[in-house]
Amino acid sequence: MHRLVTAAAAVVLTAASVPLVGPTPVAAADPVTTTDGCVQSVPDPGTTAPVDICFTLFRPAGATQDRPVPMVLHSHGWGGSRTTDPAAFAYLTDAGFGVLSFDQRGFGESGGKAHIENPDVEGRDVQEVVDLVAAQPWVQEQRPGDPVLGAIGGSYGGGYQFVGALSEIRDRGATRFDALVPEITWWSLTESLFPQGVPRTEWAAALTAAALPTDALPPRVVQGFVEATATGNVPTHLHEFLDRNGPEWHVRQGRRLDVPVLFGQGATDNLFPFDQGLKNFGRLLTDRARLRSIFVGYNGGHTLPAVLPPGTNLDIPLATTDACSPTLGSPDLADLGLRFLQQNLQGKKTGLTGFGRYHLTTAAGDRCVSVPAVAPTTDVELGEVVSTVGVGAPVAYPVAQGPLTIAGLPTLDARLTTIGLDNRAFLGLSVGTSPLDARVVQNNMLPIRENGIAIDKPRRGVELPSVAVDVPAGQTLFLTVAPISDMSVGFGSRVVGAMRMKDVVVHLPVTDR
pTM for the whole structure: 0.91
Mean pLDDT lowest among 42-56, 243-257, 285-299, 486-500: 486-500
Instruction: Tell me the domains of the chain and their CATH numbers.
Output: 1-188 (3.40.50.1820), 378-511 (2.60.120.260)
Of 281, 315, 313, the residue nearest 300 (C-alpha): 313
- Would you place residue 211 in the very low, low, confident or very high pLDDT band (cuts 50, 70, 90)? confident
Cβ-proximal residues to 373 (8 Å cutoff; 6+ apart), any chain: 282, 358, 408, 509
Of 23, 36, 3, 41, the residue nearest 319 (C-alpha): 3
Burial status of residue 318 (CB atoms within 10 A of its CB: 0-12, 13-18, 19 or more): middle
Secondary structure (3-state) at 12 = coil
pLDDT tens by residue, 270-296: 899 999 999 999 999 999 999 999 999
Under DSSP, the state recorded for 430 is E
Of 261, 285, 265, the residue nearest 275 (C-alpha): 265
Q: Which residue has the higher pLDDT, 5 or 445?
A: 445
Strands of the sheet containing 411-418, edge to edge, are 378-389, 497-508, 411-418, 454-463
Exposed e or buried b for every residue in 44-67, given b needs 16+ CB within 10 A? Answer: beeeeebbbbbbbbbbbeebeeee
Exposed e or buried b for every residue in 495-513, given b needs 16+ CB within 10 A? Answer: eebbbbbeebebbbbbbee
Q: How far apart are CA 317 and CA 467, in angstroms?
A: 18
pLDDT tens by residue, 341-395: 999 999 999 999 999 999 999 998 889 999 999 999 999 999 999 887 767 788 9
What's the pLDDT score for residue 24?
A: 37
